Structure 1
Amino acid sequence: MGTVTRGTTNPNRLRRMDRWIAAIHGSELRRADDPLAVDLGYGAAPWTAVELLQRLRTVAPRARVVGVEIDPARVAAAKPYERDGLEFRHGGFEIPLPARPSLIRAANVLRQYEEAEVAAVWARLCARLAPAGATSRGGLLVEGTCDEIGRRHVWVALGPEGPRTVTFATRLGSLGRPSDLAERLPKALIHRNVPGEPVHAFLRDFDRAWAAAAPYASYGARQRWIRAVRDLAADWPVTDGAPRWRQGEVTVRWEALAPATSTSAFT
């Protein structure tokens, strides 16, 4: 279920997303009976699935990854890369697996769909996640967009109940101002970066905090980013702290950035 995407990909492109997943969701993967992760729409080459397995196994040694692609030719091309813990299957948003995964990563997939289609895709994918339990929040869907070499990335994290957070991640040395990340907003938000929408107000305030933190630039872009995020957190529900900020990241609760006029059940 779905349509064939352009399939462009590069080695190491999703490193920022993978690093965040390992830090934030690693404990859930370790506790899972079957720590299954899906790389949905991995593209014309299998690099991102191969790298996802490597990175997840640093925090969850039993993790396994299934790359899912809707283009049969891409699946056939990826088959030689299969090994212990890594396989490739033909499929789409239905996630053609008997087990319910602990993680679904969908990077640069919905970018090519219409905004009106996003909520239904999210709902379908969230319904396939491992459910929450007494000691677990359930599986995680991470859906977002990045540039061709992974310097700028924005993603939404969703649980079985729906969206939880939005994360902005960047290579700080290449950043002019935080609103440069607007071009990488996921499909649910990219058309909402206009006056009157929460994500526009957030990026406006982030740019102002960045400008106010200019004196910290003498200590490096990292210290300027940390100071800007610390000031931003006074008015926005930032969910992480300095250890993540040092990575060039900031995570905000979804409700604060959700489209003002959306009719989605998730908002």
Structure 2
Amino acid sequence: MSVVVPPGRRFVRSRPVGSATRGTTNPNRLRRMDRWIAAVHAAALVRSSDPVAVDLGYGAAPWTAVELLARLRTVRPEAEVVGVEIDPARVAAAVPYERAGLVFAHGGFEVPLPGGRRPVLIRAANVLRQYGEAEVADVWARLCARLAPDGLLVEGTCDEIGRRHVWVALSPEGPRTVTFAARLASLDRPSDLAERLPKALIHRNVPGEPIHAFLRDFDRAWASAAPYADLGARQRWIRSAASLAGAWPLVGGPRRWRQGELTVRWDALAPRG
């Protein structure tokens, strides 16, 4: 089934759910997130009978949706992407970039797809930073309810050129993992990623909260691994991750660590209270 949005239905008649973002975007900004998605969600993409993904809140330019399609098609050649934006002007500006398997539509957290299709992936990058922490759970629940049974919601934040990124991965049942990713050559210490924590965690980086304890331990492991810096930042990161593995429930192993990533189970970092 190909994604087709008839011209008369491209703009929703009712008010979309949510608010417009600043729209900041750059080519390759989300490459780290996309690379991770293509690796860890490959099996679901391959077995899906309807491999449609949503780039939610793609911004003022459609680069991230175009790139997402290309990266997913390395795993599933039939993959399709719908870029969903709450700002009608951004949708109109993106229409010239449509191609086979890629369309753009007006909408928000209701994730409008033709025919009630349920996406195997929703990527919501840099969308929730303007919302309050108390609003996150409701947004997550709304988006997860739109997923296919084996679908994945990836929600997180990165800097303007994609050097530092932290995201939460959620199944239809709720949050599963938190991933920290960086261009390691630009990293002084792992806690530099704190400024890119998603909204659910960024205000919890204070003593007594798990995310604060994790970043503290990560910095200590990084400092202890300083002798490996002569072999490169990647080796130092890998050694730091190996040190953390005994105290924190890491997901994945050296193959992902080599990419400048570290994934932790959500329940170990979830806010208290």
TM-score of the pair, normalised by structure 1: 0.95
1:161-212 superposed Cα distances (whole Å, 9 cap, x missing partner): 0000000000000000000000000000000000000000000000000000
Indicate the residue corresponding to 2:159 in structure 1: 147
Alpha-carbon shift at residue 158 of structure 1 (Å): 0.1
Indicate the residue corresponding to 2:65 in structure 1: 49
Which of 156, 171, 189 does residue 159 from structure 1 map onto?
171
1:220-261 superposed Cα distances (whole Å, 9 cap, x missing partner): 100000000000011000011001000000000000000012
Indicate the residue corresponding to 1:228 in structure 2: 240
SS in 2 for 1:96: coil
Alpha-carbon shift at residue 54 of structure 1 (Å): 0.3
1:25-70 superposed Cα distances (whole Å, 9 cap, x missing partner): 0111110001010000000000000000000000111100000000
Which of 129, 152, 172 does residue 147 from structure 2 map onto?
129
The answer to whether 1:213 aligns with 2:225 is: yes
The answer to whether 1:111 aligns with 2:129 is: yes
Work out the percentage of aligned pairs sharing the same amino acid. Answer: 81
* Conserved? CA contact 1:46–1:78, under 8 Å: yes
Indicate the residue corresponding to 2:182 in structure 1: 170
Indicate the residue corresponding to 2:138 in structure 1: 120
Unaligned runs of 5+ in 2: 1-16
SS in 2 for 1:169: strand
Q: Which amino acid aligns with 1:104?
A: I
How far apart in 1 are the matches of 2:231 and 2:106? Answer: 49
Alpha-carbon shift at residue 112 of structure 1 (Å): 1.0
Indicate the residue corresponding to 2:111 in structure 1: 95
User: How many residues are paired up?
Assistant: 255
Indicate the residue corresponding to 1:9 in structure 2: 25
CA RMSD of aligned residues (A): 0.4
Indicate the residue corresponding to 1:239 in structure 2: 251
SS in 2 for 1:92: coil
Indicate the residue corresponding to 2:75 in structure 1: 59
Q: Which amino acid aligns with 2:169?
A: A
1:122-145 superposed Cα distances (whole Å, 9 cap, x missing partner): 0000000001xxxxxx10000000
Unaligned runs of 5+ in 1: 132-137, 262-267
* Conserved? CA contact 1:30–1:62, under 8 Å: no
How far apart in 2 are the matches of 1:250 and 1:156? Answer: 12
How far apart in 2 are the matches of 1:60 and 1:146? Answer: 26
TM-score of the pair, normalised by structure 2: 0.93
SS in 1 for 2:104: strand
Which of 48, 59, 75 does residue 32 from structure 1 map onto?
48
Indicate the residue corresponding to 2:102 in structure 1: 86
The answer to whether 1:196 aligns with 2:208 is: yes
Alpha-carbon shift at residue 16 of structure 1 (Å): 0.1
How far apart in 2 are the matches of 1:105 and 1:2? Answer: 15
Indicate the residue corresponding to 1:256 in structure 2: 268
List 4+ stretches of structure 1 deviating above 6 A.
none
* Conserved? CA contact 1:157–1:164, under 8 Å: yes
Q: Which amino acid aligns with 1:212?
A: S
